[in-house]
């Protein structure tokens, strides 16, 4: 996890430090994975205590690998373990104390912050969302809803599956040709670079990128590909002070 700065508290979680067991060992944050719900709730308590925030502040959505960006207010908080009918792969807010959370287990987590207008965003970018440019959708929404200026926005790309491990068929490569290299009958795709490029193209100047691969380090991070889907879920989280 990262340490909080003056304007935000933000983190990319690992699979370490929770109470879940078996294939969910240990810090699983997925509510409907088959894990014991009491363990998942305790995992959130551990996470929130570490960050100095309340579980009731967290807002998340049902992720569908699309490009919908949802504007979050205080009214959306306090519903973490309730039925969630909102479908979105990006969340933005200008409300202090509301914690935006997106789930990943190989896909790309992107956290956004405009320190001038104090606006935050969290984006889940799988290869479909990346190809459809969910990054531009998020930046556009921050601009239209909260008057963020693109050059003020800071971005952090968290741990995800890297080019070294993201072997695909032609469907992914065809969707992201600039970021794909052919190896025999397969392709290696660089989702980190694709999202860095989209952020830069959208006008974001300050971009930090994790060098860690969730598949290479599946003992530290949840990796859907490495576990063949038998896994928990990690998260990227950001809240405004």
- Distance (Å, whole) CA 10 – CA 194: 23
Domains of the chain listed by start with CATH number:
8-160+212-240 (3.60.140.10)
pLDDT per residue over 175-187, tens digit each? 999 999 999 999 9
Q: Which has the closest alpha carbon to 222: 230, 232, 212, 213?
A: 232
Sorting pLDDT into bands at 50, 70 and 90, what band is 85?
confident
The three-state secondary structure class of 217 is coil
Q: What is the pLDDT of residue 5?
A: 47
pLDDT per residue over 116-165, tens digit each? 999 999 999 999 999 999 999 999 999 999 999 999 999 999 999 999 99
Sorting pLDDT into bands at 50, 70 and 90, what band is 6?
low
Answer for the pair 194, 179: CB distance below 8 angstroms, yes or no. Answer: yes
Average pLDDT over the chain, rounded to an integer? 96
Answer for the pair 114, 146: CB distance below 8 angstroms, yes or no. Answer: yes
Backbone angles phi, psi at 122, to 5 degrees: -135, 130
Q: Which residue do the tokens 């569908």 mark?
A: 64
- Distance (Å, whole) CA 64 – CA 84: 13
- Distance (Å, whole) CA 92 – CA 125: 15
Q: Which residue do the tokens 């998942």 mark?
A: 40
**pLDDT over 90 (residue 188):** yes
Q: What is the pLDDT of residue 7?
A: 80
Give the global pTM.
0.96
Q: What is the pLDDT of residue 38?
A: 98
Percent of the chain residues past pLDDT 90, beyond the cut:
95
**Run of H or E including 191:** helix 191-201
Sequence-distant (6+) residues with CB within 8 A of 6 are: 241
Q: Which residue do the tokens 């363990």 mark?
A: 39
**pLDDT over 90 (residue 200):** yes
The three-state secondary structure class of 24 is helix
Sorting pLDDT into bands at 50, 70 and 90, what band is 83?
confident
């Amino acid at each position: 996890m990262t340490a909080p700065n003056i304007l935000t508290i933000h983190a990319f979680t690992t699979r370490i430090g929770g109470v879940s067991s078996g294939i969910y060992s240990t810090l699983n944050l997925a509510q409907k994975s088959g894990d014991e719900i009491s363990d998942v709730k305790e995992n959130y308590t551990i996470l929130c205590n570490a960050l100095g925030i309340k579980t009731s502040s967290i807002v998340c959505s049902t992720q569908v690998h699309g490009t919908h960006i949802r504007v979050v207010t205080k009214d959306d908080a306090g519903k973490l373990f309730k039925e969630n009918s909102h479908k979105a792969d990006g969340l933005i807010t200008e409300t202090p104390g509301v914690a935006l959370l997106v789930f990943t287990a190989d896909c790309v987590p992107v956290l956004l912050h405009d320190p001038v207008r104090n606006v935050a965003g969290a984006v889940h970018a799988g290869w479909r969302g990346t190809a459809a440019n969910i990054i531009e959708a998020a930046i556009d929404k921050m601009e239209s809803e909260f008057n963020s200026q693109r050059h003020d926005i800071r971005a952090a790309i968290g741990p995800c599956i890297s080019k070294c491990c993201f072997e695909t068929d032609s469907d992914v490569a065809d969707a992201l040709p600039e970021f794909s290299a052919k190896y025999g009958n397969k392709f290696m795709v660089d989702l980190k670079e694709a999202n860095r490029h989209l952020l830069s193209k959208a006008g974001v100047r300050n971009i930090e990128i994790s060098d860690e691969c969730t598949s290479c380090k599946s003992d530290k991070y949840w990796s859907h590909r490495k576990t063949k889907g038998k896994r928990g879920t990690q998260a990227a989280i950001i809240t405004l002070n």
